[in-house]
Amino acid sequence: MSKILSLKLKEAVFQDAENILKDLKIPRNTYINEAVALFNRLHERKDLKKRILQESKLVQADSIRILEELEALEDGEIK
């Protein structure tokens, strides 16, 4: 399903898009849909990075403790 939108663009942005559309030979609608989809993916990736960093901080202490235990096991300190 598609949605109908009214859109205001700055003149420079519009002209840049129009110039690109001439080269690509694709409809304006297709170009705008692809641009919005790309921008959405960019923000999804930024959000994912943020969540991974937050979750990484939550398990950091446990990870260090486990690593120290594994190193001690390798060194024969734990039997």
**Does residue 5 form part of some domain?**
no
**Does residue 46 form part of some domain?**
yes
Listing DSSP states for 14-52 in one string gives HHHHHHHHHHHT--HHHHHHHHHHHHHHHHHHHHHHHHH
CB atoms closer than 10 angstroms to residue 14:
13
pLDDT band at 79 (very low <50, low <70, confident <90, very high): low
CB atoms closer than 10 angstroms to residue 62:
9
The per-residue pLDDT for range 9-47, each reduced to its tens digit, is: 999 999 999 999 999 999 999 999 999 999 999 999 999
What global pTM score does this model have?
0.67
**Does residue 79 form part of some domain?**
no
Domain count of the fold of the chain: 1
**Does residue 44 form part of some domain?**
yes
Contact between 37 and 45 under an 8 Å Cβ cutoff? The reply is no
**Does residue 17 form part of some domain?**
yes
- Domain span at residue 21 reads 11-74
**Does residue 6 form part of some domain?**
no
**Does residue 55 form part of some domain?**
yes
19 against 70, higher pLDDT: 19
Structural tokens at position 42: 């960019």
Express as a percent the part of the chain with pLDDT over 90: 67
**Does residue 20 form part of some domain?**
yes
